[in-house]
Amino acid sequence: MFTRRKEKLLEYQRSLVELHYNEVENMYAKMRAWRHDYHNHMQALSACLANGDIEKAQEFLEEINENLVSVDTVIKTGNTMVDAILNSKISLMNTRKIPVKADAKVPSRIAIADVDLCIIIGNLLDNAMEAAEKLPPQERFVRIYIGVKSTHLYLCFTNSAGKKQNTIGGRFLSSKGSNHGFGLNRVDSLVEKYDGYLTRASEDGGFTTEVILPLSGEPDFHA
């Protein structure tokens, strides 16, 4: 039983590594494309200035600025690892035409291990992204909020969804296979490890997951 669980955990971790590798590659691809476009913009800008066409030069500068914003770090939370996971997920959502609104602040030093926090955030955002992607582009959205409330770190993820989902035994049903279920169980176990609190709520048009984690204290490392 223990061996099977260990194999399952290793399989899950390998899938996460592959997924995050692809997401980082996507970010690098955007940066490479911007660098390529940058040289073209510079040539066009130089030509405009040589011809004294100031108005056209200003247009190119505005376009360069817009492109730079699109490849710059979208979210700066104050925690380096959280920045990495959030920005890779948001970049991926942008390529999938999912509008994202994000507001996130995380203390640089917290009792929660960075890896554990990133596993929680990564899984919940994957679920939100996959659910939103099932809808027509005009109906898609994901909202992210992470912040400090009193002595706790509060995370809230809301995504567009279809009709209200039903539960069996207090859990929402999934049609996405065993890895998805393992990911949700991993989130649940990590929240329990830190004596945190998690709720999921479904309604017509939206699905919300809230997580509350203490900022200090010793976690239960047997979870």
- Give dist(CA 148, CA 153) in Å, integer: 5
For residue 195, the model assigns a pLDDT of 93
Identify whether residues 156 and 175 lie together within a single domain.
yes
Residue with tokens 């890779």: 88
Q: Report the CATH number at residue 120.
A: 3.30.565.10
DSSP string, 47-87: HHHHTT-HHHHHHHHHHHHHHHHHHS-S---S-HHHHHHHH
Does 223 fall in a domain? no
- Give dist(CA 184, CA 122) in Å, integer: 11
Does 130 fall in a domain? yes
C-alpha closest to that of 198 among 166, 157, 162? 157
Identify whether residues 197 and 119 lie together within a single domain.
yes
Identify whether residues 86 and 110 lie together within a single domain.
yes
Say how many domains are in the chain.
2
Q: Which of the listed residues 33, 49, 71 is the one where a domain comes to its end?
A: 71
Identify whether residues 115 and 131 lie together within a single domain.
yes
The pLDDT tens digits for 189-217 are: 899 999 999 999 988 889 999 999 998 75
pTM here is 0.67
Q: Which residues of the chain have a pLDDT value below 70?
A: 1-36, 38-39, 66-74, 166-182, 217-223
Identify whether residues 38 and 88 lie together within a single domain.
no
Element (H, E) at 44: helix 2-50
Quote the domain boundaries for residue 173.
74-214
**Is there a contact between 107 and 70 (Cβ–Cβ < 8 Å)?**
no
Q: Which of the listed residues 26, 48, 71 is the one where a domain comes to its end?
A: 71
Does 91 fall in a domain? yes
Q: Which of the listed residues 45, 71, 97 is the one where a domain comes to its end?
A: 71
The residue ranges of DSSP E strands in the chain, in sequence order, are: 100-104, 142-149, 152-160, 167-168, 171-172, 197-203, 206-214
**Is there a contact between 121 and 82 (Cβ–Cβ < 8 Å)?**
yes
